[in-house]
Structure 1
Amino acid sequence: MKPSFRLDQHPRRWPQPLSAPPAGYFEQLPTRVMAQVAAPTRPWQLATWLRQAPAYVRTSLASTLLLGTFAASLWLGAGPARQPSVAAGLDGVPQEELVDYLASEAHLDLTDLAELPARPLGITHHYLHPSAPELADALDAQPTDEAALL
């Protein structure tokens, strides 16, 4: 069991005498305290303003910045890459090289075999020669949905 603690059983320690403050200490004390307490200057106030701005302002600024970056990248970029004409490129290749390429064990896919015409072919130009009355009769013979026209 612990003995009970009684304050009057313990001797008192007398405080040691303090030395006198330096000359002019109390006159300089308020300015020294205010220099330490003064708010530091903020070098960049924009970050504080953005943190305190309402959410809709921050959202609009972010979306404007994103849209501006996208527009600048399109404006400053090289633009869409121009693909060379496939038909014009194949005309310059000798027939023997084409056969060798196709006969080799190279990996081929549909884009290798695709031939894109450089200009419209105009297929109907050779075998369709309708007159104006024939076109009018063909268009009039087409069924129409009169409910859609209302």
Structure 2
Amino acid sequence: MKTPFRLDQHPRRWPQPLSSPPPGYFEQLPMRVMAQVAAPAPRPLPLAWLRHAPAYVRTGLASTVLLGTFAASMWLGAPLSAPSSTATLDTVSQQQLLDYLSSGEVHVDMLDLAELPTHHLGITRQYLKPSSSELTEALDAQPTDEAGVL
């Protein structure tokens, strides 16, 4: 078992005698501390002239930087190569279209068929060849609302 530690059983060491400070130490101490704590001299900012520039110069510079950034992002973000050619349905034969649609792998619904072409394809020229007299007869046969004409 360990013996308990008792402070009064151990001899005391006497402190070393302190030396006196050098002459004038306490008179110079506040000045030395203030010299170390003093704020460093202010450095000129890189764009300090901008703070004193007129508003139209600052606005012009800001808009130029903004537009330059936008142009650079558009230029750097552009795709490297555009597709060389695009295929349209006009170049595909009708037999290939019928084979594709009747293969069973393609599911065509009414919404796909309801989309109208953006340009006139001239499909009606194949099967409609009316004469002007037939068109006049067909238009005359249409009922008209007499109240709407007035």
Query: Under TM normalisation by the shorter chain, which class is it?
Result: 0.3 to 0.5
Greater gyration radius:
2
TM-score normalized by the length of structure 1: 0.40
